[in-house]
């Protein structure tokens, strides 16, 4: 994954990204794009999936409660993820903005987040900018290959794909030589379940933010760099428009 950009480092310092939602079906590239935006803008990626996987790896009660649901492609209950996000948003590194990746995934989560941010805007020092939502779209057939072919470096979290972006040496990270891993929910059966949850529960979230005006749809079936550039353009245009 290259991290080239037409933007100068100075812009990364002066541009205030604020809260950004990356929306889209499983496998559209939210994680990859969030990592690139994080590097470009110097703001954190907040991935509820990553936080849950970290809890599973550490054997916490939250991780134990979430594992079975996640392996079957089902959503974790709203209260659990809302609490996680609330705790994460109380940390200091979110002051210039942050990228929410994989959250909110239900209308209940979206409503909780909207109310939580309204509360934060009133408290001193918090980013007062409203949310900007970017929906990444990719055809479902392509998503299946992206999901079942996805491999992730256990150490640096770099993302590969055995069909589209294979590492130079099979199963080994190009960056640091660590063995690549496959997520336990990146199977065809779990993908089918995740798409069902996406259509019934997450599609209304996209409608919800679509109605608010600070929203753009991006074609995610292109080179990673082209998608990143479109997201940057959309985000910066939306912010310039006074949002």
Active site residues: 30, 105, 150, 183, 194
Among 75, 94, 152, 153, binds ligand AMP (CB under 6 A): 75
Residues 105-134 that bind ligand AMP (CB under 6 A): 105, 109
Among 17, 19, 97, 102, binds ligand AMP (CB under 6 A): 102
Of residues 81, 127, 129, 227, which one binds ligand AMP by CB under 6 A?
81
* Helix locations, the chain, DSSP H: 9-14, 30-41, 48-58, 61-71, 78-89, 107-121, 140-148, 188-197, 203-210, 224-240
Stretch that binds ligand AMP, among 8-16, 54-62, 98-106, 111-119 (CB under 6 A): 98-106
Q: Residue 53's Cα: distance from chain center in Å?
A: 14
Of 66, 100, 105, 84, give the one whose Cα is nearest residue 185: 66
The tokens for 150 are: 């996805």
Cα distance between residue 35 and residue 52, in whole Å: 17
Q: Pick from 18, 26, 97, 167 the residue near ligand AMP by CB under 6 A.
A: 26
Among positions 36-55, residues that touch ligand AMP (CB under 6 A) are: 48-49, 52
Q: In whole angstroms, give the CA distance from residue 37 to residue 187.
A: 27
Residue numbers at the binding site for ligand AMP (CB under 6 A):
26, 48-49, 52, 69-70, 73-76, 81, 102-103, 105, 109, 185, 194
């Amino acid at each position: 994954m290259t991290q080239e950009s037409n933007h100068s480092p100075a812009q990364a310092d002066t541009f205030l990204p604020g809260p950004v939602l990356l929306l889209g079906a499983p496998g559209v590239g939210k994680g990859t794009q969030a990592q690139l935006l994080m590097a470009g803008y110097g703001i954190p990626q907040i991935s509820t999936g990553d936080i849950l996987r970290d809890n599973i790896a550490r054997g916490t009660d939250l991780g134990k409660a979430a594992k079975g649901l996640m392996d079957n492609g089902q959503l974790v209950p709203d209260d659990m993820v809302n609490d996680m996000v609330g705790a994460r948003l109380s940390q200091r590194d979110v002051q210039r903005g942050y990228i929410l990746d994989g959250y909110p995934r239900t209308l209940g989560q979206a409503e909780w987040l909207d109310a939580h941010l309204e509360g934060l805007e009133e408290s001193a020092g918090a980013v007062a900018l409203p949310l900007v939502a970017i929906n990444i779209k990719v055809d479902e057939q392509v998503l299946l290959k992206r999901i079942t072919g996805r491999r992730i470096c256990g150490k640096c979290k770099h993302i590969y794909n055995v069909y589209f972006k294979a590492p130079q040496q099979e199963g080994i990270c190009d960056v640091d030589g660590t063995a690549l891993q496959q997520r336990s929910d990146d199977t065809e059966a779990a993908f089918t379940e995740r798409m069902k949850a996406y259509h019934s529960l997450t599609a209304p979230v996209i409608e919800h933010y679509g109605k608010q005006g600070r929203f753009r749809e991006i074609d995610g079936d292109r080179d990673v760099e082209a998608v990143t550039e479109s997201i940057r353009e959309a985000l910066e245009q939306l912010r310039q428009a006074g949002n």
